[in-house]
Amino acid sequence: MAKRKSTTAAGYGYAHQALRRALLADAYGKHCPRCDLPMLPGQSLDLDHTDDRSGYNGMAHASCNRAAGARKRNAQRRKTWSTSRNW
C-alpha cells in the first residue's frame, strides 16, 4: 500500500528532479517569479516551467506554480466547484 506514483509518468523525470534539488538550496531568500515574495526555508517550492513547457522559469512557490497551472483549467471546471448540499 501507499506505493508512490512514478514521477516520470507525471512528466517530472530524473533530470527535473536533479535540477530541482540543485536549484532548491539556492532559491531560498530569492523572490518568487510569480508573486514576487521571498521564498523562505520551510516553504514548499517547485521548479516552475515556462508556460509552453520549453524550459524553466526557475524556482517558485509550489502554491504559486500550481495556482498558475490550475488557472486555465478552472475556466472549464468552475461549475464543478459548487458543493452538493444534501443536508
Q: Which residue has the cell 508573486?
A: 35
Name which of 11, 52, 12, 69 is nearest 60 in CA terms: 69
- Phi/psi for 76 (5° steps) reads -90, -25
Q: How far is the CB of 51 from Zn ion (least distance, A)?
A: 16
Q: Which stretch binds Zn ion (CB under 5 A): 12-20, 31-39, 47-55, 77-85?
A: 31-39
User: Does residue 61 belong to the site contacting Zn ion (CB under 5 A)?
Assistant: yes
| Among 35, 62, 67, 68, contact with Zn ion (rule: CB under 5 A) | 35
Q: Would you tell me which residues interact with Zn ion (CB under 5 A)? A: 32, 34-35, 61, 64
